[in-house]
Amino acid sequence: MRFIQSCIVSLLTVLASVQALTYRGADFSSLVNLENSGITYKDSGVTAKFETILKNHGANLARIRIWTSTSNSQYSLNYGLALAKRAVAAGMTLLIDLHYSDTWADPGHQGIPSGWPTTLSGLNTQIYTYTNSLVKAFAAQGTSIQYIQIGNEINDGILWPVGRISVNGYSPLSQLLHSAANGVRDASSTTKIMIHLANGWDASSVASFYNQIFIAGEFATGDFDILGFSFYPFYGTGATYGALQSSLQAMVTKFGKDVMVVETDWPAVCSGVALSDTAIPVSAEGQSTWVAGIRTILQTLSGGHGIGIVYWEPGWVGNAGLGSSCADALLVDGSGNTRPSIGMFSSSM
């Protein structure tokens, strides 16, 4: 097994010069909050805005999360609008990540926002109105959204308990996604809609979701454009390149839609954690190698449907583990100085 993994790493090294993906992205949603706490960033010893550093190293896609909170410290719409202006000014395309929650939304948390209805009928109206007005707000300030996620890691649905699959089955979620998609379509003819699932490597779970989410008169294949997935090495040893390739190719074969890996990280410092690829070093070099491997998988997908990667929160100083049990998965050190892996946006994606 170690020999096979070593061969894979060697192959990735050989392929490092292949053509880059269309989108080489970073989710730096926490940036303004970090700046407000006094964090600054340096690249080769020169202080610069973090979005500028990312762009200078090849990043061309900014992923920005939006919560339903009205507090700027909690990723409000106004916070997202301001950060979007900076990202676009730096020359980046926008991927807006709607959590439909006052706080984190993920496979274990999808709470209905405070003040929102708690019935399916009311939520269908609310999610349409909210999504529609949000897309219009971005366009009104000159930062039109190219890609939008209608939910974040929605493996068990959104707006719990109403839209929770494990409680109420697929129909409520199917209706809610259809309403959200209509909100986008009615606000913009150019914004592409993404469905985002965690554990993109888990072919069985991914297939199960997509085999059941489409219901006549509710969510349809025409309601979305992009398949988005998270792929982390921290949360299960099954998260291998081979498993990811098999899962993504199955979805491309089934739907013929483009694919992005919109969340990934690799540790620069880590001990005592079983990572899913033991052949890749825990280091800045390993961070670039891990991402290069994802790029290679996306490039092997039929029809050229693999189009982008997003590194999640590369500059979140003070939260360096990024939700994992590893000590540090950032592309900067604790003082905000870039690591060599900051070059992954041009050399590894």
**Calpha distance 289→113 (Å, rounded):** 39
Q: ∠ CA 135-140-146 to the nearest 5 degrees?
A: 45
Catalytic residue (one of 153, 218, 285, 313): 153
Catalytic residue among 51, 218, 263, 313: 263
Instruction: Kindly give, in sequence order, each residue whose CB lies less than 8 Å from that of residue 248, ignoring residues fewer than 6 positions away.
Output: 200, 227, 229, 259, 297, 298, 301, 306
Tokens 């483009």 sit on residue: 258
CA torsion 131→189→85→81, rounded to 10°? -10
153 catalytically annotated? yes
Q: How many CB atoms lie within 10 A of CB 167?
A: 12
Q: Are 232 and 324 in contact (CB under 8 A)?
A: yes
> Are 78 and 72 contacting, i.e. CB atoms less than 8 angstroms apart?
yes
Cα torsion 308, 314, 320, 323 to 10°: value is -30
**CA atoms of 290 and 266, how far apart (whole Å):** 7
Q: Residue 335's Cα: distance from chain center in Å?
A: 25
Best CA proximity match to 283, nearest among 266, 265, 263: 266
Following DSSP, what letter does each residue of 264-295 receive, concatenated? E---SB--S---S-TTS-SSHHHHHHHHHHHH
- Residue length, the chain? 349
* 8 A C-beta contact, residue 2 and residue 72: no
Active site residue 313: no
> Which residues are catalytic, by number?
153, 263
